[in-house]
Amino acid sequence: MFLSPLEQQVSDEYLTQGYIIRPVADLEALAWMRDQFTSLIADALRVEVTGNPEDILNQIHQKVSVAELNNFRLKIIQGFNAIEQFREMYFRVARPYLETLVGNELAMQLRINLSIQLPGDESSLLPVHADTWSGDSPFEVVLWLPLVDCYATKAMYLLPPQQSAELSQQFTERAGNSSENLYQAIKNDIRWLEVHYGEILIFNQALPHGNRVNEESETRWSMNCRFKGVFTPYGDKKIGEFFEPITLRAASKTGMTYQLPSTS
């Protein structure tokens, strides 16, 4: 392995923990993205929004009810995915870590997702699951980017690799007949991930993960997007339909179009 000491450290941590948490690689890109949310929120609510972006996001539950949340979230998602530079900025906040863990010829999900979890809201739960259970490729990683500090039940949890392997061996006995049964079977082994604004989380989406009711006093805002190597196997989500290449190299482009001379 011809990895640098820093690359080896990041790789070892990901393999051991199932995730890495690091400072964002491009603070200007992060600040630019969060600034977009002020105008997106104003457009969605049709009101003027002023003040500190952190306070606006953390306290959005004072302006948006649980009943209104899904429509509000979909408007915000549609808004930032329509901004031409947004996906590039999202990539920039974690580029060196993605290149270390995944490679430098990357495919990126076409649309970035957003989670908004109001305090006490039971309608925005993501039951325990692994993305590979529903057809995602095990070669994918998820880049999870918080727009506010995420901690305790305002964050997400993940089952570490060793415990996940043990679960796989005993899945039928431990899973029960519902996702709640499965959560109860693993709740003593899961790890809650604390990720602050200004940090990124990259995790192995083949490991069981999810969230619970947000019992904190602030609203959670986090974006997520999948990345994979262009030439690694795809699951149900194909290139061109769900992913697109974003850093394809010149040798790959020429190789993909090369044809031997005709001898006829």
pLDDT at 171: 86
Q: Specify which residues 210 forms β-bridges with.
A: 157
Residue-range domains of the chain with CATH: 5-246 (2.60.120.620)
Handedness of CA 71, 73, 75, 81 (dihedral sign): negative
Contact 188, 252 (CB under 8 A): no
SS (H, E, C) 109-130: ECCCEEEEECCCCCCCCCCCEC
| 3-state percent breakdown (helix, strand, coil) of the chain, nearest 5 | 40, 20, 40
How confident is the prediction along the chain (264 residues), in pLDDT tens digits per residue?
799 999 999 999 999 999 999 999 999 999 999 999 999 999 999 988 888 999 999 999 999 999 999 999 999 999 999 999 999 999 999 999 999 999 999 999 999 999 999 999 998 899 999 999 999 999 999 999 999 999 999 999 999 999 999 999 988 888 777 899 999 999 999 999 999 999 999 999 999 999 999 999 999 999 999 999 999 999 999 999 999 999 999 999 999 999 999 887
Alpha carbon distance 41, 71 (integer Å):
12
